[in-house]
């Protein structure tokens, strides 16, 4: 069973360059399969561990995202990645 959460991007540049790299790097620390879906644009889910896929998704400020994970550490993965976005990447500044 997968775990998921919906969040709204508050970072002024969305998930571009540094925020996308931080997001993907954090995602790779978990063993679960993690997907990111842009609900605002209605796009297909992408691999949240890929910086290139995150960048190509064109995620902007105010976009609503669904983060979902499936695996041994799915709850922790969704919580950590959701926190990154809702805190505007504050812990990484």
Select which of 16, 45, 47, 88 is catalytic. 16
Q: Is 16 a catalytic residue?
A: yes
Long-range CB contacts (< 8 A, 24+ apart) of 27-33? 27/77, 27/81, 30/69, 30/71, 30/73, 30/74, 30/76, 30/77, 30/80, 31/71, 31/72, 31/73, 32/69, 32/70, 32/71, 32/72, 32/73, 32/74, 32/77, 33/69, 33/70, 33/71
Which residues are the active-site residues?
16
């Amino acid at each position: 069973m997968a775990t998921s959460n919906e969040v709204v991007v508050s970072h002024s540049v969305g998930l571009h360059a540094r925020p996308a790299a931080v997001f993907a790097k954090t995602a790779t620390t978990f063993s679960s399969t993690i997907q990111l879906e842009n609900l605002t644009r209605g796009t297909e889910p992408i691999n949240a561990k890929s910086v290139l896929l995150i960048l190509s998704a064109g995620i902007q400020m105010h976009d609503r995202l669904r983060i979902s994970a499936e695996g041994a550490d799915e709850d922790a993965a969704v919580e950590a990645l959701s926190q990154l976005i809702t805190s505007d990447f504050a812990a990484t500044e």
